[in-house]
Structure 1
Amino acid sequence: MPRYEHRPFDCRPAPELSGAAPGRYSVVIVGAGPVGLALAIDLALHGVTSVVLDDNNVVSVGSRAICWAKRTLEIFDRLGVGATMAKKGVTWQVGRLYHRDEEIWSFDLLPEPGHRMPAFVNLQQYHVEAMLVERAQQFPELIDLRFKSKVTAVDQLKDGARVTVETPDGGYPMETDWLVACDGARSFVRGALGLEFSGQTFEEKFLICDIEMEDSPFGAGPAERRFWFEPSFHDGQSVLLHKQPDNIYRIDLQLGRDADVEFEKREENVLPRIRRIVGDRPFSIDWMSIYRFTCARLERFVRGRVIFCGDSAHVVSPFGARGGNGGIQDADNLGWKLAAVIKGEAPAGPIESYNDERVHASDENIGHSTRATNFMTPKSPVETMFRDEVLHLARDHAFARKLINSGRLSLPCALAGSSLVTPNPDAPLQPGSAAPDAPIRSADGEGWLLHRLGGEFMVLSVGPAPDLADCGVPHLVVAPGSGFEDPTGLVATRYGTGWTYLVRPDQHVAAAFDRPDAATVRVALSRARGQSAEERVA
């Protein structure tokens, strides 16, 4: 029996079912998973209303996405749930890789100090969704959560979209200026518009299993990620082991492309496999599934006034924790841009830049994911020999460890080359990068730099402050006597003393300056807001 108790959310009849005229809304979001909820919360923080439609009234069944990377946790922190997630989740940063039964390499994902968020937190998707729903309910005037509301038709309009919604109380139409599809890999919206993924489907099958087990296989030490290539206890296939909260452990077992799905998912066949991994410790199965996966994406993520976000736009293999993390980073990229267009603060350019930036990020994730999968599942004797030699060399040689794709985990995509970014190759922190965190001190006490950045455009200066009174956005100075100090020196180390940065609402660096003036910053700001070269003001 599953450990998590699924409690239904309240479902209220839509106003359209009470005789009201069909509504016209600024934003309608299809899907109340992590991506859709994160986007709704981000829009609410910008004062933009949204309606969230979901065909269910409980959080997801099964742990699904569990591994949340530091950059994603920083986004969740800006949205108001990061600390709750970090407290509930299992923090880990050490990964161990084995070939057969010998450990060949261990890595530490966060060897440097001075970050509020850990390298990774393991937390089941159902916990994340519950936290996000609770946070969304704190914006009753801005977020209209409609559960048991299934979208059954989608029509594109010149200035928006129309959807038909079916509920237990009846159906109704609604129109929206912007429709955002966050409805997952089997997206109804994507299918309704006749759009298809392009990419590669892998024939290998994997058994994913959550077990409840009080006696930790890690002993008294901290939780770790363990990955085995060809272990003796699993017929030469690969195995992945993670710890989750509530004494739940995730195990992924490669079954091979010819595995019989019905046979493999029988409990009497699953239990012996698990026992060979965890030994004689008592355990019970909490949830399991068998899957194949695809690395693919839509050609475009923006289709008129319909926008695709998360798995509705792109899918990857689960190895490397790039699916859920990539989806949240989609929402982070889209939220401020959509809000700016709706509020009349920017032209339509930022919406197109969402397509460009996140297609680029998706291609990067798909590339890493495809290489990881091919490394795990070699298709020929030559590929097998290459993998085995890389694993052998990785015991003693650092260069070979970079070739072990299964050990390569989600990192934020850099946006260098984006039309919104002003390049500066001399900057210590390159434009397009996600702004790194660091401790700061103010009159309020010890704090974190990223708590002062994000949500709006900001200028950050480290060290002596240039006169930027007319630059058009708030100016944060970290320097002695400025009100914000650098007690550990990590701000100066990560950003460079004497440098000034324009930081976007999604905490990415839009521009970097060593000798800025207000006019130069305003030009970079206009570019970061999506204005054309002709529209930018000096």
Structure 2
Amino acid sequence: MLDTTAQLYPYTRVADQDRVAHHPVIVVGGGPVGLATALDLGLRDVPVMLLDEVEGVGEGSRAICFAQRTLEIFDRLGLGEAVCARGVKWKVGKVFHDDRLLYQFDLQPEGGHKAPAFVNIGQPEVEALLVARIRVAQARGAPIEIRGGNRVTGLAQDERVELVIETPDGPYSARCDWLVAADGARSPLRRMLGLGFEGRVFEDNFLIADVRMAGDFPTERWFWFEPHFRSGASALLHRQPDDIWRIDFQLGWDIDREAELSEPRIRARIDAMLGDGAEYELVWTSIYTFQCRRMERFRAGRVVFAGDSAHQVSPFGARGANSGIQDAENLAWKLAAVLDGAPDGLIDSYAAEREAAADENILHSTRATDFITPKTPGSRLLRDAALHLAAKHPFARAMVNSGRLSTPATYDGSALNGPDALPGGPARTRPGAPCPDAPLGNGTLLARLGGGFALLALACDAPDTDLPVLHVADPGPELAARYLGGAPRALYLVRPDQHVAARWAGADAAQVARALRTATGGGQ
């Protein structure tokens, strides 16, 4: 088991505390979003400093479900295999009503993907793996600095951002061109700027209990509506590494939180679920309330918000940390491009694309919450009817919502999208869509695409440009199905975050140049 209790970046006094130093990018927040952003920037040779008020990873497992797209991002950053090796892979979910299995689903029915559908691993371990990968990158020359025990207490901006930072040795100031606020749902930076965080708080509470036990449940996601063991109005079970299991119980709205967090009350609920005589150890417990909120704009001048500081969703569906990692990937290459001379408006595209993604996540999360916790007699009647029919009728299963699990956003309508000039091209790889993985040679496609702009030429020639080209003369069936569809050939322009920028049946250098200019914020 990874040691997540150590001070991974203990406070150390530095020379900058005696002067006002300038940094191209400062990231505030040492959670997975802040760490991934700093790592991505450093791997792109952008000097970046990460400030964290603590000196290591957070407590409690918190997020545990990391989705395929997040694992693909981690793979590009160099820690995907470590996360997959440490975590528990799964792809099957089951939905129960009382003691009846209603149906099951497979989240990765097709082959050819390097990453599994989901990996369960506690957030502190992911943070520790990110820090370890940053240390490797630093040793290889990546310009990344982490300062633990550094708490931002003041913020001002004009052409640049100036911070006041509190440390055990007193305050100091630092300046940066861009500030990434990844400081969580209670974001002090958001409050310093007087920015809102609007949305909805749902009238329900859920108990999280991480327990260590030698359970014989399969490695699947199990969700119960009105479970027969009566430990809550609904319940959820997930496996984690080291024989740790995440259990969620729906408690209702009007509860005594202190009483519900008492060990006897928690054990009574777990005992009812597992049966008398079950042996287990309580590892971590907490009570949370569903909230779906976001900032109106993710950019405020030269301050850019990412992860929970920008948006918050209910845990069912695993859309919190996964969407935050996608924020980091979307933002990092754009900051690198702007610092290298791309138009400043490219950062506005980050805000526009990820605001739309947040709206999609909030919509799914709100629908799941409304189904799990009906608010009116009429909505409960409809919910119960859907549950009654779901065991025998597939149409009813589409109505049952125990949390639509995280999927990557497609940036339809993005200002960065170029032409879609591929007649018969699959909808899943239209401009704005994330590139799906597929078998290629002895590996898979995404590993070959890398982390910069690239051309993917399938059964065709690519024009002469400065971009790297991945030629595939004879696409295999999976690659052809995902990128050709009914077309005999295709040329794709792929963004650094491995989303499709443009596609053609064939294009010349001028057409590619125009699409590249659009994809880097230069307009049509």
Measure the CA separation in 2 of the matches of 1:277 and 1:52. Answer: 43
Residue 224 of structure 2 corresponds to 228
Matched, 1:347 2:338: no
The 1:3–1:159 alpha-carbon spacing in structure 2 relative to 1, beyond 3 Å, is closer
Residue 505 of structure 1 corresponds to 496
The one-letter code matched in structure 2 to 1:503 is V
Measure the CA separation in 2 of the matches of 1:456 and 1:43. Answer: 12
TM-score by length of 2: 0.95
Q: Is the 8 A contact 1:431 1:509 kept in 2?
A: yes
Please, which of 85, 99, 112 is the counterpart of residue 101 of structure 1? 99
Shift of 1:58: 2.1
Residue 132 of structure 1 corresponds to 130
Q: CA RMSD in A?
A: 1.5
Matched, 1:469 2:464: yes
Please, which of 410, 414, 418 is the counterpart of residue 414 of structure 1? 410
Residue 495 of structure 1 corresponds to 483
Measure the CA separation in 2 of the matches of 1:92 and 1:181. Answer: 32
1:385-405 CA distances to partner (integer Å, 9 max, x unpaired)? Answer: 111111122212222222222
Alignment of 1:163-178 (within 5 A): 163-178=163-178
Measure the CA separation in 2 of the matches of 1:423 and 1:261. Answer: 54
Q: Secondary structure at the match of 1:292?
A: strand
1:444-470 CA distances to partner (integer Å, 9 max, x unpaired)? Answer: xx111101113110010111x224113
Residue 216 of structure 2 corresponds to 217
Residue 524 of structure 1 corresponds to 515
Measure the CA separation in 2 of the matches of 1:399 and 1:352. Answer: 41
The one-letter code matched in structure 2 to 1:8 is Q
Please, which of 301, 305, 311 is the counterpart of residue 302 of structure 2? 305
Structure 1: runs of 5 or more not aligned = 481-485, 534-538
1:82-103 CA distances to partner (integer Å, 9 max, x unpaired)? Answer: 1100010000101000011111
Measure the CA separation in 2 of the matches of 1:14 and 1:52. Answer: 14
The one-letter code matched in structure 1 to 2:482 is R
1:424-461 CA distances to partner (integer Å, 9 max, x unpaired)? Answer: 274222111110111111xxxx1111011131100101
Alignment of 1:374-523 (within 5 A): 374-424=370-420, 426=423, 427-428=425-426, 429-441=429-441, 446-463=442-459, 465-470=460-465, 472-480=466-474, 486=475, 488-496=476-484, 497-523=488-514
Shift of 1:155: 1.1
Measure the CA separation in 2 of the matches of 1:396 and 1:407. Answer: 21
The 1:234–1:3 alpha-carbon spacing in structure 2 relative to 1, beyond 3 Å, is farther
Shift of 1:14: 2.4
Measure the CA separation in 2 of the matches of 1:191 and 1:294. Answer: 18
Q: Secondary structure at the match of 2:73?
A: helix
Q: Is the 8 A contact 1:14 1:146 kept in 2?
A: no
Measure the CA separation in 1 of the matches of 2:126 and 2:46. Answer: 23
Measure the CA separation in 2 of the matches of 1:4 and 1:46. Answer: 29
Q: 403-412 vs 172-181, which deviates more? A: 403-412
Residue 199 of structure 2 corresponds to 199
Q: Is the 8 A contact 2:26 2:176 kept in 1?
A: yes
1:400-433 CA distances to partner (integer Å, 9 max, x unpaired)? Answer: 2222222420011111110001242742221111
Q: Secondary structure at the match of 1:118?
A: coil
Measure the CA separation in 1 of the matches of 2:408 and 2:34. Answer: 19
Measure the CA separation in 2 of the matches of 1:136 and 1:193. Answer: 30
Q: Secondary structure at the match of 2:171?
A: strand
Q: Is the 8 A contact 2:232 2:249 kept in 1?
A: no
Q: Secondary structure at the match of 2:482?
A: helix
Matched, 1:261 2:244: no
Q: 37-46 vs 388-397, which deviates more? A: 388-397
Q: Secondary structure at the match of 1:408?
A: coil
Q: Is the 8 A contact 2:231 2:269 kept in 1?
A: no
Please, which of 287, 295, 300 is the counterpart of residue 284 of structure 2? 287
Residue 332 of structure 2 corresponds to 335
The 1:298–1:407 alpha-carbon spacing in structure 2 relative to 1, beyond 3 Å, is closer
Measure the CA separation in 1 of the matches of 2:321 and 2:170. Answer: 33
Q: Is the 8 A contact 2:197 2:295 kept in 1?
A: yes
Measure the CA separation in 2 of the matches of 1:228 and 1:498. Answer: 47
Shift of 1:479: 1.5
Alignment of 1:57-96 (within 5 A): 57-96=55-94
Tell me how many residue pairs correspond in the alignment: 512
Shift of 1:235: 5.3
Q: Is the 8 A contact 1:462 1:491 kept in 2?
A: no
The one-letter code matched in structure 1 to 2:469 is H
Measure the CA separation in 1 of the matches of 2:41 and 2:185. Answer: 23
Q: Is the 8 A contact 1:178 1:305 kept in 2?
A: yes
The 1:124–1:159 alpha-carbon spacing in structure 2 relative to 1, beyond 3 Å, is same
Shift of 1:45: 1.5
Shift of 1:4: 5.9
Shift of 1:257: 0.3
The 1:3–1:292 alpha-carbon spacing in structure 2 relative to 1, beyond 3 Å, is farther
Q: Secondary structure at the match of 1:137?
A: helix
The 1:161–1:211 alpha-carbon spacing in structure 2 relative to 1, beyond 3 Å, is same
Residue 483 of structure 1 corresponds to none
Residue 29 of structure 1 corresponds to 27
Measure the CA separation in 2 of the matches of 1:331 and 1:249. Answer: 28
The 1:74–1:118 alpha-carbon spacing in structure 2 relative to 1, beyond 3 Å, is same
Alignment of 1:43-62 (within 5 A): 43-62=41-60
Report runs of 4+ in structure 1 exceeding 6 Å deviation. Answer: none
Q: Secondary structure at the match of 2:136?
A: coil
1:464-505 CA distances to partner (integer Å, 9 max, x unpaired)? Answer: x224113x311111124xxxxx4x521112111401110000
Shift of 1:275: 1.1
Measure the CA separation in 2 of the matches of 1:304 and 1:72. Answer: 28
Q: 304-313 vs 492-501, which deviates more? A: 492-501
Shift of 1:111: 1.0
Measure the CA separation in 1 of the matches of 2:368 and 2:75. Answer: 29
Measure the CA separation in 2 of the matches of 1:79 and 1:123. Answer: 18
Q: 361-370 vs 447-456, which deviates more? A: 447-456
TM-score by length of 1: 0.93
Shift of 1:217: 3.4
Shift of 1:233: 1.1
Matched, 1:143 2:137: no
